[in-house]
């Protein structure tokens, strides 16, 4: 009830602001589908009504004179099929910033809703070249692409456009949110979270350069992350699973940290057909085995992970046909078991590929309303259930993890 009341109150406040100021805009999207799922090997079929990241937001601009404008925006999410407020009550985005002839600067919780793509450089770059089956949300979101779309505690920048070329950047502090006034004894004054770690213990920088002019889109994007393990718990390393930080601050047995990403995107609109493609490479600190003598593990995480996708759309007036394919190397998926006292084995070994095939149809009822249908086949790991006998290295193929989904739905933007 409290979350629902909050959403209604925000909506009323937004509407009042929009009437009071001509430069404030209330916007949103309602997107709901009916979908049927079938999973290979399990013989389980299910019918579901699904929300596809429906949202409500307000954004505004104030002219400060001299070519400078103040910007702000707040966006929340709700489940259109159930009416429940989304993201656990957390806003999708909340930012304030300035825009002038030298570019746009914003600060806050940033995502693709921020003007000029300043909130999400790599994700927005991919979106400029890709053809979505049903926007970039819900069941048909391309899970084979690992770029981060949203970041709290972030500052973003978007350059002016120079002959079709622009640069966007975002710097974010991804460490635990500072929610207490406890002081870390290693420092003089910075507030830290309950597990004695700082927001700045994890830092992420994204930079994207994109050329978009006429029918062509082409770009290169980079992401770099750095970690300050020494600040965690006064310089000690948490045990595995402690505060959920074993992947962030762990060493040796538990370390599997994302380090950097490079991506290239390409898109071309030939009017009768639109094509898009993405190729990316992610780097990780490798994970090491930490099992017992009776159930040893193996070093099976990838230090390098490749992603690839192609997209084709055929517009036919108010109609459109879309076909997408994406694949991603499974980076890490170890589950250890000694096979009921028998030879030590590892399941979900991280040796497979995540693959998705999509076919979609759109019919635009208007500039804002669309009905659609789609079919998707998603295999989260082609080797997810493969069994590896650790003493011999023998691989035994098991059942597939493919999920096939058919859906129909409607989307309205306002």
SS3 assignment for the chain: CHHHHHHHHHHHHHHHHHHHCCCEEEEEEEEEEEEEEEECCCCEEEEEEEECCEEEEEEEEEEEECCEEEEEEEEEEECCCCCCECHHHCCCEEEEEEEECCEEEEEEEECCCCHHHCCCHHHHHHHHHCCCCECECHHHCCCCCCCCCCEEEEEEEECCCECCEEEEEEEEECCCCCCCCCECCCCCCCECCCCCCCHHHEEEEEEEEEEEECCEEEEEEEEEEEECHHHHHHHCCCCCCHHHCHHHHCCHHHCCCEEEEEEEEEEEECCCCEEEEEEEEEEECCCCCCCCCCCCCCCCCCCEEEEEEEEEEEEECCEEEEEEEEEEECCCCCEEECCCCCCCEEECCCCCEEEEEEEEEEEECCCCEEEEEEEEEEECCCCCCCEEECCCCEEECCCCCEEEEEEEEEEEEC
Residue 284: its pLDDT value, please?
Answer: 78
Residue 194: its pLDDT value, please?
Answer: 46
Tally of domains within the chain? 1
Residue 238: its pLDDT value, please?
Answer: 36
CA distance 5 to 7: 5
- Collect all residues with Cβ–Cβ distance below 8 Å to 346 and sequence separation of at least 6: 297, 298, 300, 334, 335, 336, 337, 387, 388, 390
- pLDDT interval class at 239 (50, 70, 90): very low
Residue 197: its pLDDT value, please?
Answer: 65
Number of C-beta neighbours around residue 400 at 10 A: 17
Q: What is the pLDDT of residues 294-318, one digit of tens each?
A: 444 444 566 788 899 999 999 999 9
Residue 283: its pLDDT value, please?
Answer: 86
Q: Poorest-confidence range of 71-75, 320-324, 392-396, 402-406? A: 392-396
* Domain residue limits at 242: 2-413
What is the maximal distance between C-alpha atoms in the chain? 76
CA-based nearest residue to 110, from 91, 86, 135, 130: 91
Give the chain's mean pLDDT. 76
Token pair of 253 as six digits? 């047995």
Token pair of 413 as six digits? 């933007």
- pLDDT interval class at 10 (50, 70, 90): low
Residue 383 above 80 pLDDT?
A: no
Residue 407 above 70 pLDDT?
A: yes
User: Which whole number is the average pLDDT over 113-135?
Assistant: 90
CA distance 14 to 78: 16
Q: Poorest-confidence range of 39-53, 98-112, 131-145, 291-305? A: 291-305
Q: Poorest-confidence range of 236-245, 257-266, 319-328, 400-409? A: 236-245
Residue 293 above 70 pLDDT?
A: no
Q: What is the pLDDT of residues 103-115, one digit of tens each?
A: 999 999 999 999 9
Residue 82: its pLDDT value, please?
Answer: 85
Q: What is the pLDDT of residues 245-260, one digit of tens each?
A: 333 333 333 345 778 9
Token pair of 142 as six digits? 């391309």
Which pairs with CB-CB distance under 8 Å and at least 24 residues apart come from 265-268? Answer: 265/125, 265/126, 265/128, 265/129, 265/130, 265/210, 265/217, 265/218, 265/219, 265/221, 266/129, 266/217, 266/218, 267/128, 267/129, 267/130, 267/216, 267/217, 267/218, 268/215, 268/216, 268/217
CA distance 33 to 316: 23
CA distance 222 to 182: 35
Which of 91-95, 177-181, 303-307, 351-355 is most confident? Answer: 91-95
CATH code (residue 275): 2.40.160.10
CA distance 168 to 277: 20
The three-point CA angle 128-330-219 to 5° equals: 20
Residue 45: its pLDDT value, please?
Answer: 73
CA distance 317 to 363: 9
Token pair of 195 as six digits? 């597990």
CA distance 374 to 323: 10
User: Which whole number is the average pLDDT over 6-33?
Assistant: 67
- What is the percentage of the chain residues whose pLDDT exceeds 90? 44
Residue 91 near residue 56, CB atoms below 8 Å? no
- pLDDT interval class at 370 (50, 70, 90): very high
Residue 407 near residue 50, CB atoms below 8 Å? yes
Number of C-beta neighbours around residue 155 at 10 A: 18
* Sheet containing 345-347: order of strands: 335-337, 345-347, 387-389, 394-396
- What is the percentage of the chain residues whose pLDDT exceeds 70? 66
Residue 131 near residue 312, CB atoms below 8 Å? yes
Residue 258: its pLDDT value, please?
Answer: 79
């Amino acid at each position: 009830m409290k979350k629902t009341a909050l959403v209604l109150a925000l909506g009323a406040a937004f509407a009042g602001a929009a009437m009071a100021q001509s430069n404030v805009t209330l916007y949103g999207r309602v997107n709901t589908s009916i979908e049927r799922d079938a999973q290979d090997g399990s013989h389980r079929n299910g019918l579901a009504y699904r929300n596809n990241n429906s949202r409500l937001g307000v954004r505004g601009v104030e002219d400060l004179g001299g070519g400078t404008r103040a910007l702000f925006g707040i966006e929340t999410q709700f489940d259109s099929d159930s009416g429940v407020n989304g993201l656990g009550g957390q806003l999708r985005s909340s930012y304030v910033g300035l825009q002038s002839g030298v570019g746009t600067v914003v600060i806050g919780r940033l995502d693709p809703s921020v003007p000029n793509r300043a909130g999400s450089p790599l994700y927005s770059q991919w979106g400029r070249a890709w053809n979505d089956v049903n926007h970039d949300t819900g069941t048909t979101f391309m899970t084979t692409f690992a770029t981060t779309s949203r970041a709290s505690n972030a500052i973003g920048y978007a350059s002016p456009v120079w002959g079709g070329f622009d640069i966007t950047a975002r710097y974010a502090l991804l460490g635990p949110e500072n929610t207490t006034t406890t002081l870390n004894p290693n420092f003089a004054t910075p507030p830290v979270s309950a597990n004695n770690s700082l927001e700045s213990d994890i830092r992420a920088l994204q930079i994207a350069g994109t050329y978009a002019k006429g029918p062509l889109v082409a770009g290169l994007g980079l992401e770099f992350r750095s970690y300050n393990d020494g600040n965690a718990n006064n310089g000690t390393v948490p045990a595995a699973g402690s505060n959920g930080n074993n992947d962030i601050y762990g060493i040796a047995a538990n370390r599997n940290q994302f380090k950097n990403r490079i991506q290239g995107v390409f898109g071309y609109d030939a009017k009768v057909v639109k094509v898009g493609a993405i190729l990316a490479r992610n780097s990780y600190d490798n994970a090491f085995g930490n099992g017992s003598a009776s159930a040893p593990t193996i070093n099976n995480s990838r230090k390098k992970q490749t992603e690839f996708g192609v997209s084709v759309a055929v517009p036919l007036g108010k109609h459109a046909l879309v076909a997408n394919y994406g694949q991603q190397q499974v980076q890490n998926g170890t589950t250890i078991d000694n096979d009921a006292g028998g030879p030590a084995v590892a399941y979900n070994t991280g040796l497979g590929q995540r693959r998705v095939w999509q076919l979609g149809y759109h019919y635009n009822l208007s500039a804002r309303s669309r009905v659609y249908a789609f079919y998707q086949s998603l295999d989260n790991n082609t080797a997810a259930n493969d069994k590896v006998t650790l003493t011999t290295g023998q691989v035994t193929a098991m059942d597939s993890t493919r999920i096939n989904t058919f859906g129909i739905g409607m989307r309205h933007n306002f």
